[in-house]
Amino acid sequence: MSTNYTGEQIEVLRGLEAVRKRPGMYIGNTAERGLHQLVYEAVDNAVDEAMAGHARTIQVVLLADGSCSVEDDGRGIPIDMHAEERVPAVEVVMTILHAGAKFGKGGYKVSGGLHGVGISVVNALSEWMITEVKRDGFLWQMKFERGITVQKLKKIGKATGTGTRQWFKPDPEVFEVSEFHWDILQKRLRELAFLNRGLAITLRDERPVRSGEPVRERTYEFDGGIVSFVEWLNGKKDALHPIISTHAERDGVDVEVAMQYTDTYADQIFSYANNIATIEGGMHLQGFRQAVTNAVNGYARKRGMLKESDNSLSTDDIVEGLTAVVSVKLQDPQFEGQTKTKLGNARVRSIVAGLVSERLDFFLEENPKYARAIVDKCMQAQRARDAAKKARDLSRRKNALEGSGLPGKLVDCKNGNAAECELFLVEGDSAGGTAKGGRDPNNQAILPLRGKIINVEKARLDKVLANEEIRTMITALGTGFGDEFNVEKLRYHKIIIMTDADVDGSHIRTLLLTFFYRQMKPLVVEGHVFIAQPPLYGIRKGKRQWWAFTEAELKAVIGEDGKDFTIQQYKGLGEMDAEQLAETTMEVGHRRLKQITVEDAVEAEQIFTDLMGDKVEPRKQYIFDYAKSVKNLDL
């Protein structure tokens, strides 16, 4: 290589240096998430080519050497000389930060904070990368190492058809982990296939498998697009009517909506902008909710189901049991919010609302039987909500009479600063007593929960509120719940579920998580909920003592034969005394907490429905898949 750098080479080196110095700025982090982000970046480019109408298939292959290949059948990245940079266009795309945008491909280029950082970032963070382009009857190839071109564009053979292949090996100098996870990739690829009707995405795992296991390969392709998505989401629920859907472009915004009511109590509404999950919602979601509320109220009034003197149905009443996917694609998405997953473009609200109103008004008029079922369902929700409100007002008044209003069972802490306080939700009075003995009274509070918590997935709000354990917990947390939930009133910033490591314990844990997820979602989304991890084993040898939290840790301490060690297996919290519980499970510095995260709302919803809903079959399947699902949810 010449030492007389051109301007372009200097720009490339500066760009690479920036990316390799602060990878987190470009891909979030250098752990599991960042590693998978590399694949998403390559796939997003291919999906863009598909959205522009030029590619139909995408193949993602995980190879034995830890590399990943993403291939599409689009037009192929251009290989002609770039006028300004005087190198082939493909080299510009691969080596210059944000070069993709310069090409102004047209169509709906994603420019979110999460994606669209440019394939050159993947290149910079890869030990090696090979780009192949099929165009004009030839196969072209370029090679890179840590973003630096090591083989200029070269014709390596003949080819039929067109397309692009991006093959890269993440750099172990950059990433703390190196293994791609099938489950993580599969979920996102499936979602992309749902969101892009007709696009076929294949995931293939060519890494060595345990003997007897087949090589995994799955293709996701849905001719129904988001209608198939809703069908899949409701697969295990009973629907009240056929799926209602609409798809249209208005003022440059492509809008797709599919919706269906079920006989359940929770709503599952997923929104997307340019294929990015808008976890924090935004204008498209607002438009949707507003339109559905107006349409159902309008119909109910017109048919006399709601009398003049009746209150209108609220949006919360109207979304109960509703499953919906709202997907918009637009040129200039504005992503806002804490995690940049809230769509800010105001005009999108009225565009979505207009389309949904039109479609839903028409559906209700044309299908009186289904319309009645929907309105009935919403009115039942309204009645339950009224009953719940009365119960709540009553209990508020009662609390006011009783003084502080905090439940008697709560062993509170002294510190008044919520950010420093922790609440342990403990299974049973006896473990509660032990925890009380082991806590730090300054900032750790204990709330023992007796008996079973009601399953919120199967009961309406009024029933849920009649449950004493639930009421006690709500009062202790201080936030209210449901539509009145206010995270700013939270009295403890860490809520730690501490249950036994047995079936009952995991049941209670799941019931609590379901309640938080359904009625206090921000608590979960903002990362306030944790699971305590008591040790599985206590190990002694002479005067020395260890704790093991996994089988592997046990092995590591005692070695293969375990001679001279006394091993005690802990089945429940009750088997430890206060000091042991504090030392292993409660004290900062020793304990291991698992934070509950909702990275993947679709997955979380499915798991809660499966786990807690009416149908038995999915629950059996869940128990079968238990280990796997728990891992997905990061419990």
- Which C-beta is closer to ligand 0RA: that of 116 or that of 618? 116
Residue 283 CB, nearest approach to ligand 0RA (Å): 29
Q: Which is nearer to ligand 0RA, 331 or 595 (CB)?
A: 331
Q: How far apart are CA 130 and CA 126, in angstroms?
A: 10
Going by C-beta distance under 8 Å and a sequence separation of 6 or more, which residues neighbour residue 443? 413, 414, 415, 420, 421, 422
Sign of the torsion formed by the C-alpha atoms of 10, 14, 19 and 25: negative
Residues that bind ligand 0RA (CB under 6 A): 45-46, 49, 72, 74-78, 103, 105, 164
CB 101, min distance to ligand 0RA, A: 11
CB distance 243 to 258 below 8 Å: yes
Residue 125, both tokens: 């963070």
Least CB distance from residue 121 to ligand 0RA, whole Å? 14
Which one of the listed residues 176, 179, 393, 502 is annotated catalytic? 502
CB 448 within 8 A of CB 432: yes
Residue 237 CB partners (closer than 8 Å, separation 6+) = 262, 263, 264, 323, 609, 613, 614, 615
Distances (CA, A) of 193 to 133, 163, 226, 234, 327: 23, 19, 9, 17, 13
Minimum distance between the CB of residue 156 and ligand 0RA, rounded to whole angstroms?
A: 18
Half-sphere exposure of 274 (CA within 13 A, CB side): 26
Is 45 or 519 the residue whose CB approaches ligand 0RA more closely? 45
Q: Which residues are paired to 165 by β-bridges?
A: 71, 132
The residue annotated as part of the active site, out of 44, 427, 600, 610, is 427
CA dihedral over 528, 418, 280, 229, signed as positive or negative: positive
Question: How is residue 262 annotated by DSSP?
Answer: B
Give yes or no: 502 in active site. Answer: yes
- Which of the residues 44, 500, 583, 600 is marked catalytic? 500
Out of 173, 402, 504, 577, the active site residue is 504
For β-strands 276-277 and 268-273, DSSP reports them as: antiparallel
Nearer to ligand 0RA, 109 or 491 (CB): 109
Query: Which of 104/214 has CB closer to ligand 0RA?
Result: 104
Catalytic residue check, 32: no
Residues with Cβ within 8 Å of residue 261, at least 6 apart in sequence: 239, 240, 241, 321, 322, 323, 373, 374, 377
Please say which residue, 46 or 273, places its beta carbon nearer to ligand 0RA.
46
Strands 494-498 and 537-541: unpaired
Nearest approach, Cβ of 110 to ligand 0RA (angstroms)?
12
Cβ closer to ligand 0RA: 77 or 612?
77
Verify whether residue 500 is a known catalytic residue.
Answer: yes
Q: Are strands 148-158 and 138-145 parallel, antiparallel or unpaired?
A: antiparallel
Q: Which is nearer to ligand 0RA, 101 or 215 (CB)?
A: 101
Task: Output the smallest distance, CB 463 to ligand 0RA, in A.
Answer: 52
* Minimum separation from the CB atom of position 341 to ligand 0RA (A): 24
Q: CA-CA distance, 283 to 353, in Å (whole number)?
A: 10
d(CA 415, CA 421): 7
First to last CA, the chain: 51
Q: Does residue 317 have an active-site annotation?
A: no
CB of 258 to ligand 0RA, least distance (A): 28
Catalytic residues: 427, 500, 502, 504
